[in-house]
Structure 1
């Protein structure tokens, strides 16, 4: 029995620099950056005062006042992205069997923004140790349960099949899509709405990364602060956003005349069982995930035409994944254009893996490799082709996207140009 093939037929994006997949692609293909001074709260006194924020107004994006009141910012962005993906796919979900539709959403920090805002109100600005719950919004409990995010997305399309919230740190966006692919592949569903969202630009999150000095302190030049693979990088720039996809079993998409962006041909994940934030320098676990994803896709290292790197802009990560690419692809690693879109849209934690899947699918559609912005001075230990500064036209058939997350998570996904 042949394995079921799964294709992406709809894309929705809420990202720094523009709302919608077109604005997103225009930004990253032009090599523009969307990092700036934090405006979502007063960041005075913080070590890192820069981020990649979304100019996101939920009312302008079609949510009702009741929906805005009910949902945390992360859930709002997921629903807006889901609506765009559904429209883009051309599917009429009302005509689908509800029990054959699955939903999978990734998030690293859930409803952090709403929880922190409510704590400030309930504690009277932190002055009261015993908080007064009567000041809380009616849906405060929902902020405590990250699964409410995926529930909102499921309600958007009336999905009654398997519904899951995937939280594996910074690989959540890849893992959530991978989970949906497996649900369709095993035959439980024919269609999925999958992706990830995070809205972590809040005092508590910024303070946490300040404490471990993981984020850039280049506050006077925010537009060039995110510098993956550059000798003078000093950490990542926090971001926010969401990307959602309509995934379909290939024959289901073909019968209705859909025009897929890409096939999700391979997916694998590994854990290094080593350290909460540390990485072994040899990149073995990421390389193993890459190898497994390529095997599942039926692709060899020589077939890879482009790599979307995790490319966070920390020395440890950049060198770790460079070693992983060499370990897995051998000499081919020196020939494949690699890029990090975090140089332009920041690192939105659990959401970024899905945002990068969107970048890969659009790269396949447009046959263009996005650049790595701000890469002016290459790190000698990162000696691959990182597509510095300017996008590049290329013949793309097979694209590899990888992610690395706190806790030792390593994930790889292979997207291919859909073929008959």
Structure 2
């Protein structure tokens, strides 16, 4: 990495349940409102878990043309919309920069699942036909099958001609996409990166997959309060969709044009537990290791962390796992550090959630407000940290740790800090 380079966030846009756009998203989080509801995209009556975090997104209303809407999967629509809006938010004039110094790092866990499932149902006549007539196939099926198509669409929309790639590390993809963008700027490969993630998994095949392993909550009679991380009555996560894309810039590049800076991305670290596809050891060792490396790379002492944005999925093993990881990595400071999970309000959008959480952390630093953990009424004795229950907290927020945990054993951590603290 080059000496004296630093990475800052100058543009943010989010599409999330209950909040399409940065302002609406932040208003939802700080109010402590929840946006999980009964699934309306299809008839969920056959499934164990019948609730989700759905986004009220109209592609035509954000300027996408009919041909673009037909060509792009819903997840790609989310990504290009967020990229365009984050570019506008940043104030960056792409006509004044070298496009070969601008890249894209986009993450996703399940890619264009929505469109692939839809096309299969058309081709097979809803599963009735084994031999299928390709004449009924969408001409855009290749774009749906290849995850990198979404990153390419963002590059075309923004004019980025530098390093462009898709990150597919499951539920840590959003964090890791931001981490990759950070690394590309730090090593001198780019000056500007569009970084984030997108997923639209509220579809029958994905719901069925999580039903099979009983990872999602069956609390169908109370969708609004079903996502309850760290609560003693939690019994699984609420599936959701969403996206966030941020403009990351080399600090001097941003300062030279007088850009508004939300936060500095100070480090990223990731580890794999090489243990189990879905299982987690209760001691949280691998997440703790990722946290320690992220803190070391950011030159941050554990005592400097003002807020931890938890993975906080609401499964019993995850919440125990990361509570142990925080204690291991932060020591006694873990008991003094506010921790919260925004999944309590917007659900778990798989690969997208990590980038949405980074956006929330940047806004927390910018506004000196910690979002709450909604629905936390009955704390689990095994989860005995300060989880900011029910109401947002106005306190100085200078340095933030955001973590993620993903199927396959992935454990990732990102450190953000106030631009005033940047070296």
TM-score in same-fold range (> 0.5): yes
1:2 to partner: Cα distance: 2.5
Mark the runs of 5 or more structure 1 residues left unpaired by the alignment.
Answer: none
Secondary structure of residue in 2 paired with 1:353? helix
Q: Residue 122 of structure 2 corresponds to which residue in structure 1?
A: 121
Q: Residue 233 of structure 1 corresponds to which residue in structure 2?
A: 234
CA–CA separation in structure 2 for the residues paired with 1:274 and 1:3: 38
Q: Residue 290 of structure 1 corresponds to which residue in structure 2?
A: 291
Secondary structure of residue in 1 paired with 2:323? helix
Q: When the two structures are superposed, what TM-score results if normalisation uses the length of structure 1?
A: 0.99
Mark the runs of 5 or more structure 2 residues left unpaired by the alignment.
Answer: none
Q: When the two structures are superposed, what TM-score results if normalisation uses the length of structure 2?
A: 0.98
CA–CA separation in structure 2 for the residues paired with 1:157 and 1:393: 36
CA–CA separation in structure 2 for the residues paired with 1:367 and 1:77: 28
Q: Residue 324 of structure 1 corresponds to which residue in structure 2?
A: 325
Q: Residue 187 of structure 2 corresponds to which residue in structure 1?
A: 186
Secondary structure of residue in 1 paired with 2:248? strand
8 Å CA contact 1:176, 1:194 repeated in 2: yes
1:96 to partner: Cα distance: 1.4
Q: Residue 56 of structure 2 corresponds to which residue in structure 1?
A: 55
1:152-202 CA-partner distances (Å, limit 9, x unpaired): 000011111110000000000000010011011100110001100000000
1:237 to partner: Cα distance: 0.0
1:3 to partner: Cα distance: 3.7
Q: Residue 77 of structure 1 corresponds to which residue in structure 2?
A: 78
1:134 to partner: Cα distance: 1.0
CA–CA separation in structure 2 for the residues paired with 1:410 and 1:63: 35
Q: Residue 334 of structure 2 corresponds to which residue in structure 1?
A: 333
1:93 to partner: Cα distance: 1.3
Secondary structure of residue in 2 paired with 1:179? helix
Residue 2 of structure 1 pairs with residue 9 of structure 2 = no
Q: Residue 381 of structure 1 corresponds to which residue in structure 2?
A: 382
Q: Residue 43 of structure 1 corresponds to which residue in structure 2?
A: 44
Map 1:263-412 → 2, pairs under 5 A: 263-412=264-413
1:182-238 CA-partner distances (Å, limit 9, x unpaired): 011100110001100000000000000000000011101000000000000110000
When the two structures are aligned, how many residues end up with a matched partner? 420
CA–CA separation in structure 1 for the residues paired with 2:97 and 2:130: 50
1:340 to partner: Cα distance: 0.1
1:45 to partner: Cα distance: 1.1
1:95 to partner: Cα distance: 2.2
8 Å CA contact 1:102, 1:162 repeated in 2: yes
CA–CA separation in structure 2 for the residues paired with 1:335 and 1:30: 23
1:151 to partner: Cα distance: 0.4
CA–CA separation in structure 1 for the residues paired with 2:296 and 2:57: 40
1:44-73 CA-partner distances (Å, limit 9, x unpaired): 110000000000110011111111010000
